[in-house]
Structure 1
Amino acid sequence: MNTSELNSFIVILIYGSLVLLSLLKLANPLKVNHKANFWFGIFLFLWSTFWLDEVLFLITGSIIEFHSLFWVRLIQFFTPIVFYFSVLFYTNPSFTFKLTAVKFLILPAAFLVCLILIKLGYKKPFEYLSIILILIQALFYTGLSYITIRKHQKKIQQFSSNTEGINLNWLEYIILVLLIVNIIYVIYNLFYDPKSLNFFINAVFLSVIYCVGYYSLKQKEIYPLEEKQRQELISIDEDSGPEEVKKKLISDEELLKIKTLLEEIMELQKPYLDSELNLIKLAEILSVSTHHLSYVINTGFGKNFFQYVNEFRVEYAKKLLKEPNNKLSVLGIAYEAGFNSKTSFNTTFKKVTGQTPSEFRK
């Protein structure tokens, strides 16, 4: 099999994989992240259309300019926006479109005008302008999606003690890989023959698509399904950080009372050993509101919920690692201390102590 045949085979795999994955996300068999999976499924379907020219050529044996059709070009232009919508709903399932959402139509409207003018015969200047709009749209929404995910990773530390599985790392890495690949492709288009890069680009895209499939299908629900609890956590997310510390939610006396009670419970009951411990569970144990507990941890201890709980877990793990007769493996100790994976245990332990658990044990 030569390079051309292998490239054709990869193109078929890319298109088929994207269409299948799109249908799976739209069907959402696990019934999680409903709105996010809907938009992500639409994104995957739109993404698949970029290979339809090559697929149709392989089927018919003649060149079909599907990609250059007026309505196809317009619909494909929405691909980065649809991806951004999926990110919005992953990071905030209660997000709703308001009148201000009209701003999302500014660039598509400009692109539509360009397409109409090209169709009317004003090709040269507006073809270049349409390409510039495509690049602006892609870079703007890719960047916005990346920033949204980074903010989300900080937000979830306000209410979750184990962020693996809900931090959307896989989306962040995919954005970075796609950005790098597209930069390479643009440079090659400018200075070299882009066809010589097709095999490499398609092979990378196929790898990315399989990663997307693996991680997106195992993505669990990020926020609680119960609407009241979800709204509580989302509102804490929005208010958290330095600004929240400045606003007094409770008196100093009440803060000290909750702080003392929290220290007692953490010492005696050891709720941090529960790997699924979150702000809601801990607030229920203390019989206080999630807002007040978050405020006490942020203001009284100068930490977020994730840092506060995991420092207790690290201290507990250190005791187990010091015990000469303890025959538990590092992974066993991680589970005993409330961590849900060796990776999160190693990362958190090193961040707190400056050493890996294995180094500390030696």
Structure 2
Amino acid sequence: MISFGPMSITLLLCAGQGLVLAFLLLCARRNKTANRFLALLITAVAALITPYIIGYAGFYDKWPWLSFAPFSYTLAFGPLIYFYALSLMDRLPTRRWPHFLPVLFQFLADAIVFPLPLATKNWWDGFAHAPVISPMLEFATLISMAAYGIAALRRYRLYRQWLADNRTDGVDFDPSWIRNFLIALALVALIWLGFMAANLINPARNYFDQFLLYVVFSLLVIYLGIAGWRHGETPFPAFRMEPEKPGRSDVEKPVMERDWTGRGKNWLREIDEAEYWRDPELTLTSLARRLGTNTAYLSRALNESARENFNAIINRRRVAAIQQWLSSPDEARDLMTLAFEAGFSSKASFNRAFADFAGMSPSAWRLKSQKQRALESV
């Protein structure tokens, strides 16, 4: 008899909500490739939950031929995790299909057995699937998730450093969602590993004992759907590493013989004289082009001369200019007008940079300047 009770309804509602969110991700206008990977990941997790939804409702008791229906695509989790994170930050590799060969074999392991007679399926389950194949696929899934997750985390760290070194508006493209996405999956993998260990210790455990694990999977589906949809149209800048080609001023000496500190000071002087920092579209690449060098040389010279990265050097000058303007008694322009005049492209990047370099908010600094002028006039 089919009966949807609290266990099956709980999982059904979560999986259904996840599929709705996956559909919304597919409709997003930006980050289309990334959102497709995330939608596929959510769908794969929902598919993993499906046998427990119908199992708790009595489907397998009424229709035992449903056993070995191919619902499990867990070996796709790792590649989908990696390609989702990578497609938000950088170019994808051209050959992606080899990464999904393991999940094809996983699908075939069930699909080949599914149409066989029930007696044959029961024999195969007791002989090979339950004691060998199923645990092997679970361990392979966790190993795959760990390997791809570590690769994604390494790329995330490089990307975060690249934002700080190459752009002044990195706060507008905060990639923390990618880190949180990886942390959530790591926590689920650890819980999954704990349930696998419990099953090995006590083989008598049945699928009712797995309910809490599939609640965790259900919560993961909802989290990925909601948080992924919220960030689905965030325009993360593409990670680009420029080849170290010498510019017009970089050809006279071998790299090891260059005076990076002196060169950096010269470039800082040129930045100040030309007020390049007032350009809201300024990046390390565009600045290197103006100075006749490349990003690798410019970044090294600036770091060695100023002991700061590109982001700090440019935003420090923008904040200093605004502080100077605010010190004038005739300055009546609003703060955002000053911010845009100094080269900031958003309120978020302006407020963050001002707090970092002035130690207070822009409005607090303006009030402080006004009080100082009032005291000086007494």
- Does TM, scored on the shorter chain, surpass 0.5? yes
Alignment root-mean-square deviation, CA: 4.7
Residue 120 of structure 2 is matched in structure 1 by none
Structure 2 residue 315 is the aligned partner of structure 1 residue 317: no
Structure 1 residue runs of 5 or longer lacking an equivalent are 224-229, 240-246
Residue 202 of structure 1 is matched in structure 2 by 218
Percentage identity across aligned positions? 17
Q: Partner letter of residue 308 of structure 2?
A: K
CA displacement, residues 290-340 of structure 1 (integer Å, 9 cap, x when unaligned): 444334323443332222212212222333454456455655554443333
Structure 2 residue runs of 5 or longer lacking an equivalent are 114-123, 200-207, 246-252, 369-378
Q: Tell me the SS of whatever aligns to 1:154.
A: helix
Instruction: Give matches, 1:290-309, under 5 Å.
Output: 290-309=295-314
Instruction: Give matches, 1:19-168, under 5 Å.
Output: 20-21=23-24, 23-24=26-27, 29-30=29-30, 36=34, 39-40=37-38, 42-53=40-51, 62-63=59-60, 69=68, 72-73=71-72, 75-93=73-91, 95-97=93-95, 121-122=127-128, 123-168=130-175
Mark the CA change 1:177 to 1:281 in structure 2 (over 3 Å): closer, same or farther: same
Worse-superposed segment, 146-155 or 104-113: 104-113
Q: Partner letter of residue 283 of structure 1?
A: A
Q: How far apart, CA to CA, are the structure 1 residues paired with 2:314 and 2:332? A: 25
Q: How far apart, CA to CA, are the structure 2 residues paired with 1:10 and 1:95? A: 33
Residue 352 of structure 2 is matched in structure 1 by 347
Whose Rg is larger? Answer: 2
Would you say how many aligned residue pairs link Structure 1 and Structure 2?
A: 332
Q: How far apart, CA to CA, are the structure 2 residues paired with 1:291 and 1:14? A: 44
Residue 222 of structure 1 is matched in structure 2 by 237
Contact 2:302/2:310 (CA < 8 Å) preserved in 1? Answer: yes
Residue 180 of structure 2 is matched in structure 1 by 173
Larger RCO (CA within 8 A; separation ≥ 6): 2
CA displacement, residues 21-58 of structure 1 (integer Å, 9 cap, x when unaligned): 45336xxx44x675x55645544443443344467679
CA displacement, residues 89-126 of structure 1 (integer Å, 9 cap, x when unaligned): 4433174559xx97x6898799799989x768233244
- The alpha-carbon deviation at position 160 of structure 1 amounts to 1.6
Q: Partner letter of residue 269 of structure 1?
A: A
Q: Tell me the SS of whatever aligns to 1:78.
A: helix
Structure 2 residue 16 is the aligned partner of structure 1 residue 12: yes
Q: Tell me the SS of whatever aligns to 2:170.
A: coil
Worse-superposed segment, 126-135 or 140-149: 126-135
Q: Partner letter of residue 121 of structure 1?
A: F
Contact 2:79/2:100 (CA < 8 Å) preserved in 1? Answer: no
TM-score, reference length from structure 2:
0.66
Contact 2:41/2:80 (CA < 8 Å) preserved in 1? Answer: yes
Mark the CA change 1:234 to 1:108 in structure 2 (over 3 Å): closer, same or farther: same
